[in-house]
């Protein structure tokens, strides 16, 4: 992949610009990673899909190679960051793929900019009811601390901040207002979201479809990339014909 050069960004926008890697050509395809991760988690998918699409893979603020930027204090701010990045790249319409917490960001982007997002994929999205979100956030605490790779106060603070974002990530209103065709995917052994939760999320979207990957778990993205490609490739081709 090719990293977006900050030198190509107007000086007034460089300080707030997300790190971004791009590859391929064709219709744009934006990936939004989960909390405590980076765009690298999409490498198995992006490398395959870049054969047909222009893949756009940013690191969210406070994550990966965008660590120079402070963590956002809301899902809305993160969605704004991603929208600003698309403006910088001159991207109009695009497909969007969100993973885990990145799915909530993707949903906000699709709801706020319906003319821009012409197809949405949510992989293992966060739970949508408050009790389920609280339970999920509590289980993720240790994993988030390890993901930030720091055993100091700053790393613990970042982990707590991401945990709070996940626990208050109520994006049901955004799901209900999304007009883009939406695909919601999880593994049948994934504890969050469960197959029932996936169907509920897809049902909230006017044009939503759910897919359960057999044998898939919470590690759906790294361990079942081929199964995801088998689902995503024909779906994107179908949406591209009507985009």
Q: What is the dihedral of CA 39, 43, 45, 50, to 10 degrees?
A: 100
Output the CATH code of domain 2-131+171-242: 3.40.50.1820
What is the residue extent of each domain of the chain?
2-131+171-242
Q: Residue 10 burial by CB count (10 A; 0-12/13-18/19+): exposed, middle or buried?
A: exposed
Which residues are paired to 29 by β-bridges? Answer: 55, 95
How far is residue 168's CA from residue 184's CA, in Å, rounded to a whole number?
Answer: 20
Q: What is the pLDDT of residue 91?
A: 95
Q: What is the pLDDT of residue 148?
A: 58
DSSP per position, the chain: -EEPPGGGS-HHHHTTPPPEEEE--SSEEEEEPPTT--GGGGHHHHHHHTTTSEEEEEPPTTSGGGTTSPPPSSHHHHHHHHHHHHHHHT--SEEEEEETHHHHHHHHHHHH-TTTEEEEEEESPPPSSHHHHHHHHHHHHHHHHHHTT--SHHHHHHHHHHHHHHHT---HHHHHH--S-EEEEEETT-SSS-HHHHHHHHHHSTTEEEEEETT--TTHHHH-HHHHHHHHHHHHHHHHHH-
Per the model's pLDDT, the better-predicted residue between 91 and 166 turns out to be: 91
Q: Which of 11-15, 91-95, 234-238 has the lowest mean pLDDT?
A: 11-15
pLDDT-derived band at 10 (thresholds 50, 70, 90) equals: very low
Q: Is the pLDDT of residue 134 over 90?
A: no
Q: Is the pLDDT of residue 159 over 90?
A: no
pTM for this predicted structure: 0.88
Q: What is the pLDDT of residue 160?
A: 73
Please answer whether residues 108 and 116 qualify as being in contact, where contact means their C-beta atoms are separated by less than 8 angstroms: no
Q: Is the pLDDT of residue 144 over 70?
A: no
Report strand pairing: 20-23 vs 54-58: antiparallel
Condensed to tens digits (0 to 9), the pLDDT of residues 59-117 reads 999 888 998 888 888 999 999 999 999 999 999 999 999 999 999 999 999 999 999 99
Q: Which of 158-167, 173-182, 216-225, 233-242 has the lowest mean pLDDT?
A: 158-167
Q: Is the pLDDT of residue 172 over 90?
A: yes
Which residues are paired to 49 by β-bridges? Answer: none
Q: What is the pLDDT of residue 154?
A: 46
Q: Is the pLDDT of residue 233 over 90?
A: yes
Q: What is the pLDDT of residue 220?
A: 85
Please answer whether residues 222 and 159 qualify as being in contact, where contact means their C-beta atoms are separated by less than 8 angstroms: no
pLDDT-derived band at 11 (thresholds 50, 70, 90) equals: very low
pLDDT-derived band at 165 (thresholds 50, 70, 90) equals: confident
pLDDT-derived band at 141 (thresholds 50, 70, 90) equals: low
Q: What is the pLDDT of residue 13?
A: 54
């Amino acid at each position: 992949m090719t990293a977006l050069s900050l030198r190509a960004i107007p000086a007034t926008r460089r300080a707030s610009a997300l790190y971004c890697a791009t590859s391929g050509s064709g219709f744009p395809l934006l990936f939004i990673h989960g909390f405590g991760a980076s765009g690298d988690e999409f490498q198995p998918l992006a490398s395959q899909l870049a054969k047909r699409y222009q893949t756009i893979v940013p690191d969210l603020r406070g994550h990966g190679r965008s660590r120079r930027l402070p963590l956002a204090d809301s899902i809305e701010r993160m969605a704004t960051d991603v929208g600003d990045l698309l403006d910088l790249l001159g991207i109009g319409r695009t497909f969007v793929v969100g993973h885990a917490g990145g799915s909530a960001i993707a949903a906000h982007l699709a709801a706020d900019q319906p003319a821009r997002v012409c197809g949405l994929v949510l992989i293992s999205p966060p739970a949508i009811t408050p009790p389920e979100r609280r339970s999920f956030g509590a289980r993720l605490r240790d994993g988030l601390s390890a993901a930030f790779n720091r055993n100091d106060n700053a790393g613990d603070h970042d982990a707590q901040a991401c945990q709070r974002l996940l626990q208050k990530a109520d994006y049901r209103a955004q799901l209900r207002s999304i007009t883009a065709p939406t695909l919601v995917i999880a593994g049948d052994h994934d504890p969050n979201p469960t197959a029932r939760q996936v169907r509920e999320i897809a049902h909230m979207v006017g044009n939503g479809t759910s897919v359960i990957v057999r044998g898939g778990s919470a590690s759906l993205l790294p361990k079942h990339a081929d199964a995801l490609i088998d689902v995503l490739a024909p779906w994107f081709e179908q949406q591209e014909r009507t985009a």
